[in-house]
Amino acid sequence: MFTSVLMIEKALTSADVEFVTTLHGDEPVSFHVLLQPRGEQADRLLRAIDDIALGELDEAVREGETPEGQEARSVGQQALDVSLQALRAAGSAAEGRLVEDHPLDALKALVAEVDADEVIVLTDPHYVEEFFHRDWASRARHKVGVPVLKLFSHSKA
């Protein structure tokens, strides 16, 4: 069985689930999902710049409405639960946890704990962070010791 650590920031869409579960053809995959709620992972200005770069001006204006703190945690737990159910419904083994602090440290520890074969970082585009190689995938490549695949999530379920 192939073991993937999947790092996400929001619930997986059906297209995301299909994409990650078919990456290895017919080989069975076990997913260990880490989710850090979006309200915890980047400041509002960077998110607004990303929204503007994507032409999503309405989203940029609403960045102040992004849940933070305990509210982000409960939204994150719901997103994690939905994602795990979807991965299991697609025939994959899946377990997961929320990450509140230091996502790359949690990622490195989980890769070692489960003896992962790869890391998949599946997020919305973060152009500012990616340009400066400060996004999760770029930073993880120097930390985890296994291949890191960067994928962009699908917006619509």
pLDDT in tens, the chain (157 residues): 999 999 998 899 999 999 999 999 989 999 999 998 765 445 655 565 666 666 665 664 555 555 555 566 788 899 999 999 999 999 999 999 999 778 889 999 999 999 999 999 988 766 556 655 557 777 788 889 999 988 888 765 4
What spatial distance separates the first Cα and last Cα of the chain, rounded to whole Å? 28
Q: Which residues in 28-91 belong to E strands, given as ranges?
A: 29-35
> What is the pLDDT at residue 52?
65
From residue 135, alpha-carbon distances to 57, 58, 83, 107 in Å are: 22, 24, 22, 13
